[in-house]
Structure 1
Amino acid sequence: MTVTGIKEFDKSRVEIEIDDTYTFILYKGEVRTYGIKENQELSEDNYRKIMEEVLPKRAKMRAMNLLKNRSYTAFQLREKLQKGGYPGCIIKEALDYVTGFGYVNDERYAADYIEYHKEMKSRNRIYMDLIKRGISKEIFESTWLDIVGEDKKELEKEQIISWMRKKHFAAQTADFKEKQKMAAFLYRKGFETESIRNALSLDITII
């Protein structure tokens, strides 16, 4: 295999291209250690060491360090490792490693997110937030049902009333323009039109 390109990735690392294909990123010191030079052959032994020892260990450590500070979905962690230039097979190995120890669990992530936000965010908004984080529709639906149950309309009603109180909005005294403004605000929050219409007709006391 021939090293066909060595490109600067940042101040301390470079991209290594083998046989005209992007392959991996190494620290500059490692490039010297493994005798990697442009337009020269990379030995099978050194390639194996890099792909089976150096990069997997580094990717696992990177994943663990990220997880020390906050929770990630598998999708989010994969994105982080991709930005670090790790090859796909190395990313999979790192994800399998942290998942195997229970450090990444999409069901638990979804449950924690729903539990924390269910009082103020609409179901639709929570759903969109979790989809962007890589949570599947199936995981969301199952987790939502476990935590919230089937009484979606009652929850949305309580959430909307809470927002109306925060905004000091009194449905019984508001004029048409004020109701339109509040309806638009609630719609942007992800609440369904029927829930908004019903809430705006309620006689709610503002505390």
Structure 2
Amino acid sequence: MIKNIYPISNTKLKMLVVFDDGRTIAVVKSALKEYNVKEGDNLSFEKVSEIAGEGEAHEAFLKAADALGRSPKSEKEIRTALKDKGYSKAAADVAVEKLTGYGYLSDEDYAKTYIEHYSKKWGRKKLVYELVQTKGLPSDVASEIVYGALSDEDELRLALELAGKFLKKKDGKDNLKQKCLAFLASRGIDFQTALKATETLIKEEDDYA
């Protein structure tokens, strides 16, 4: 039997359900309301545990779906957001599984959108790094998608564009090649492509000087 239901001081998400035998369980408020769980109800610990699990998983799913509706996100970002809001790993697992099954959550689709947005300012190495380190994609998945979407020609075209803008801002020629290479490296352009772009543009400047 349920003896008491108390607020939990460190979260607004759940209430603490106390049984007459001293056992306790945290239950999301929405589940208590949906199942009309009250003090004095003759419900078993197992039944309330079931209600708690289903209720939290459902609410986590709704929160995650709402977040995805506002902007694309990776699985890691969704899991982090749910954890920060106080949802358990079990609830997050259910939410992620449902969203993936419905086609709303896909790291591959997210990566493609990410590449479209950032490929005009970052090279392939930088894109892979960001997808893995900040977005939580597996490195093999990130590499396959990035290198499948952007060819060597795309990388060289970007390097020439970035290097061209960089060189226009530089008046002196001291260590110009090294500075340009360092700049392109910071943008995630691989060394051989950066070298080719830099030498091509510097040679063109010298030819017209």
User: What interval of TM-score do these two structures reach, taking the shorter chain for normalisation?
Assistant: 0.7 to 0.9
Query: CA contact under 8 A between 1:123 and 1:191: conserved in structure 2?
Result: yes
Cα shift at 1:9 = 2.0
Cα distance in 2, alignment partners of residues 29 and 104 from structure 1: 25
Cα distance in 2, alignment partners of residues 35 and 161 from structure 1: 70
Matched, 1:146 2:145: no
Give 1 or 2: higher helix fraction.
2
Cα distance in 1, alignment partners of residues 204 and 77 from structure 2: 41
Cα distance in 2, alignment partners of residues 185 and 17 from structure 1: 58
Q: Which runs of 4+ in 1 moved over 6 A?
A: none
Matched, 1:198 2:196: yes
- For 1:1-48, what per-residue CA distance to the aligned partner results, in whole angstroms no more than 9, with x for missing partners? x99x975224x3457599xxx975644995995449xxxx97332222
Scaled by the length of structure 1, the TM-score of the pair is 0.74
Root mean square deviation of aligned Cα: 3.6
Letter in 2 for 1:50: A
Counterpart of 1:50 in structure 2 is 52
Counterpart of 2:159 in structure 1 is 160
Pair 1:43–1:24, CA change in 2 (3 A) = closer
Letter in 2 for 1:164: A
Cα shift at 1:74 = 1.3
Unaligned runs of 5+ in 1: none
Cα distance in 2, alignment partners of residues 77 and 14 from structure 1: 20
Counterpart of 1:82 in structure 2 is 83
Cα distance in 2, alignment partners of residues 139 and 23 from structure 1: 39
1:10-89 aligned at under 5 Å gives the runs: 10=11, 12-13=12-13, 16=16, 24=26, 26-27=28-29, 30=32, 33-35=37-39, 43-52=45-54, 54-89=55-90
Pairs aligned (count): 192
Cα shift at 1:82 = 1.2
Query: CA contact under 8 A between 2:16 and 2:25: conserved in structure 1?
Result: yes
Counterpart of 2:21 in structure 1 is none
Aligned-residue sequence identity (percent) comes to 18
Query: CA contact under 8 A between 1:122 and 1:190: conserved in structure 2?
Result: yes
- For 1:66-97, what per-residue CA distance to the aligned partner results, in whole angstroms no more than 9, with x for missing partners? 01101111121111111122122111111111
- For 1:101-159, what per-residue CA distance to the aligned partner results, in whole angstroms no more than 9, with x for missing partners? 1000111111222233223211110001110212222222332343224xx2x333211
Unaligned runs of 5+ in 2: 19-23
Cα distance in 2, alignment partners of residues 99 and 28 from structure 1: 24
Query: CA contact under 8 A between 1:110 and 1:139: conserved in structure 2?
Result: no
- For 1:36-62, what per-residue CA distance to the aligned partner results, in whole angstroms no more than 9, with x for missing partners? 9xxxx973322221112x212211110
Pair 1:16–1:184, CA change in 2 (3 A) = farther
